[in-house]
Structure 1
Amino acid sequence: MKPVPIALTTFGSALLLAVVPAAGAQAATGTFRYVNAYSKLPVTVTNPADATCIATTAFGAVTNSTNRDATLYPSPACQGEPLGTLAPNGTANNLSFASIMLTPTPGPPS
C-alpha cells in the first residue's frame, strides 16, 4: 500500500471540516428587532444562531419574536454582567445595549 502524503491528508481534513456542519448547531426561529442607536433605523435579525454573540448599537424599542431567550450585554463582545434577558415574544422600550446572545429557553426540571 502506498503512503498518503501528509500535505494531502491535511488538505483533506481541512476540506472535510469546511464541508461538514458542526454537530448540534441550532438557530432561533423568528426575528429579533431593535433600533440602531446612531441611525435610528430599525434592525431585524432573522433566525440568529444559538450562543453566538451579535454586536449591536441599540437604543430604544426591542422585540424578541424568536423562540429563544435573548440576553442583552453592555459590551459588544457579550462579556460582563448581562443587563437582562428578554424572553421569547417579549418586548421592551428604552433599552440600550451593545450585544445580544440567544439561547434556548430552559425547560421545566426533569
Structure 2
Amino acid sequence: MSLLNRPNADVLVYPEVVTTDEDGNTITRPAETGIPSKARIQVAGQSTETQKQGFETSDRLNIRLIGWTGGELGAQAAISWGTDELDRPKMYAVEGEPLRYIGSRRTAHTEYIIRRF
C-alpha cells in the first residue's frame, strides 16, 4: 500500500443530487445523508494572489477518497470532517473540477480541493 493511499481521516461524503425545488425548477445540492468514507487529507498550497491578510482565513485542503466507489463528486457535493469548538461538524465544499492523475493504473487517482464553508 502506497503512503498516499493510506487514510488519515474518516469523513462523511454528501454527493451531489438532483432535486426539484418548490417552484418546480431542477436544482443540484448535497445529499441530505452522508456516506462514511476513509480519506487522505493534506493541506493545499495557496498562491500569494489568493492569500488574504488580516482576519480572513480559510481552510483549503486536498482530499483523496480511499476506496470510494460512488463516482466523481459534483460541484455541489459536500464533505464533513471534524468538529468545531461548539461540537458541530465542519463542512467543506468541493472547489473546482476534480484533479485526475492518469499516469498508470497503479498511480491513477482523483483528488479534490475542498474549502470550509
Structure with larger Rg = 1
* Normalised TM-score (structure 2): 0.31
* Normalised TM-score (structure 1): 0.32
Higher helix share: 1
